[in-house]
A and B are shown apart, each in its own frame.
Chain A
Amino acid sequence: MPRGEVGPVTRTNDTAAHRRPWDFGLTIATVVLLGGLGAQSFIGTLYSWWATRQIPLWTQNGYYGFVDTMNAIAAPQVLALVVVMGLCVPKRLFSRTALVAVSAGMVIAGVVVWAFTGSTAQGLTVYLTLAALIQVAVVVMTMAGARGPSYLTQGRMTKIGSGLLHLGFVIFAIVVVALQRSPFMEPVFWTSAVLTTVGTIMAFYADKFAVRRVRPVTPED
């Protein structure tokens, strides 16, 4: 850390961060997966730039093969990212032992549906729906001021914002995986967009909205 004043007001202290290796592991996994997909996107873009110049009629003949290859490479990464995103949800609510059980239960539920239906999309949808339900519980409990949910960030507004934006992303993932051709796509999508945006605003600018309630000093104090 560079010398100087303390960083963002929303971050908690060192010890708290060290107490959460699971959090750190998930964050690193997310960053690695995001980086992997990013690198794939970059390499894919370079390749398509090269191919359009070097391979005659590539856009007509080669582009669809390129898309298939890109999909095949991205699929396990996206799958892993969705799984990691789902695992990020119960960590707010459960103790270490329960967390492993709940996470394993979510994965197993998804795998069972996938095995029965043969559809990866349906397996992922079940998994993500479970994650969304847990995240709703997390948000409601955070709003109610319950002690259960734990966050890396501080301040109730920031926590609610973080909860809402992650709920928005989980719902958006459900839209991408399961609802692209559904009549419910638009309302569910807009719900996710509003949750993500409002959640991001609250998470980033909680300090601007915070109303400090000061208890008046009484003679008894």
Chain B
Amino acid sequence: MNPVSTNTELTTLLSALASIGGPLQWALLASAVFLGLVSFMPSLKKIRERALCVVVGLLATGEVALIWFHWRLYAITAVVSPVTGETTGHVAVSMWVESEKLFVWALILGLMALFAKRHRSELLPGVCFSLALITIGAVLWGQPFTEPLPQFLGQYRGYLAASGSGDINAAMGAYQGMESSRAYYYNTWYMWVHPPLLFISYGAFVMSFVSTIFMWIRRHSSYEETAYRWARLGYLPLTFGMLLGFPWAILAWQGESWWWSGKVNMSIMMWLLYTAYLHGRLYLRRKGMWRVVAILAMLSFLVLVLTYMTTYIVPGAHSYA
């Protein structure tokens, strides 16, 4: 591997992604803003449905572009031992890290909104508005096409620079860092399963939250049933995804105090609250219990949002994810 030519290939790939994704980002932003504006206008029901289709279509197109980008990235990002000169492997960066997380969340929520049937007409305004917000966040904050994977590319470019510097100690240090990231983070099976499971649950919990709001306002149990159906769909991948994190964390974060890191704290809290909600609703017919259940459901969702934000604002083992 020649660090200079690899760097040039990387730059070419990033330019290609920006040229495809730049206009797509603007189109997504415009359609998401439009979707947000028409969300709560009853007279524009048909237009809202079409705007939803457009946003989901653009998100799906963007995801295809990102899959292509990651495929090409894998081919380029070889890791070579500075001692033997042999390639030890490539970096397989999954499509739901760093700048791409909100994008995946938006796509999953959009698909759920498209296929939702129960109380569809009532839920859609709230869900479309949430989708618009997440999509706008994905475009403005994440910038997955114009500023992709800043942490990974920073690390890999640092590794390339160290490899080409002629300083064997610097090259060895950068190589070991890259190999460690590859073995315990990017290339682990876990990174290909854990985040998408959580994003499926996040999408379902948005649907559940909107339904709970309706239950609270209209005081009708059928909305509670809808909220529960979405919550159980979200709880299953949430539980399985979080459980999967345990053996991986023991191996990858050996010796680190990860139990009380911000993201782990908040994730456990979120799971505990959703568990409490699902247990609480077993007693839904007790007097006043529906209020407790509704408050638990809304609180759980609030914590979900905070859990997502924690990655960015509280340092800890998940900060780089």
Please determine whether chains A and B interact with each other in the same assembly: yes
CB atoms of A49 and B314 under 8 A apart: yes
Question: CB within 8 Å of A: which of B261-286?
Answer: 262, 265-266, 268-269, 272-273, 275-276, 279-286
Task: Select A8's contact among B228, B235, B246, B265, beta carbons within 8 Å.
Answer: B228
CB atoms of A193 and B283 under 8 A apart: no
Question: CB within 8 Å of A: which of B227-267?
Answer: 228, 232, 235-236, 239-240, 243-244, 246-247, 250, 257, 259-260, 262, 265-266
CB atoms of A11 and B284 under 8 A apart: yes
Is B215 on the interface with A (CB-CB < 8 A)? yes
A113 to B225, CA, bound (A): 46
Q: In angstroms, how far is the closest chain B Cβ from the Cβ of A158?
A: 12
Instruction: Spot the interface stretch: A62-70, A99-107, A125-133.
Output: A62-70
Instruction: Spot the interface stretch: B16-24, B104-112, B148-156, B216-224.
Output: B216-224
CB atoms of A38 and B272 under 8 A apart: yes
Instruction: Spot the interface stretch: A26-34, A89-97, A135-143, A213-221.
Output: A26-34
With known contacts A2-B215, A17-B283, A189-B246, A48–B316 Cβ distance under 8 A: yes
CB atoms of B221 and A6 under 8 A apart: yes
Closest to A203 in B: B232
Is B289 on the interface with A (CB-CB < 8 A)? yes
Closest to A24 in B: B283
> Chain A 1-16 against B: per-residue CB contact (8 Å), 1 yes, 0 no?
1111111100101100
Q: In angstroms, how far is the closest chain A Cβ from the Cβ of B229?
A: 9
Query: A residues within 8 A CB of B215?
Result: 2
Q: In angstroms, how far is the closest chain B Cβ from the Cβ of A121?
A: 15
Interface size on B, residues (CB 8 A): 49
Closest to B289 in A: A1
A200 to B246, CA, bound (A): 19
CB atoms of B303 and A11 under 8 A apart: no
CB atoms of B275 and A34 under 8 A apart: yes
Closest to B235 in A: A200
Q: In angstroms, how far is the closest chain A Cβ from the Cβ of B267?
A: 9
Q: In angstroms, how far is the closest chain B Cβ from the Cβ of A157?
A: 15
Q: In angstroms, how far is the closest chain B Cβ from the Cβ of A150?
A: 14
Query: B residues within 8 A CB of A200?
Result: 235-236, 239-240
CB atoms of B247 and A1 under 8 A apart: no
Query: A residues within 8 A CB of B269?
Result: 37-38, 41-42
Minimum-distance CB pairs A-B, first 5: A41-B265, A41-B269, A2-B219, A38-B269, A4-B221
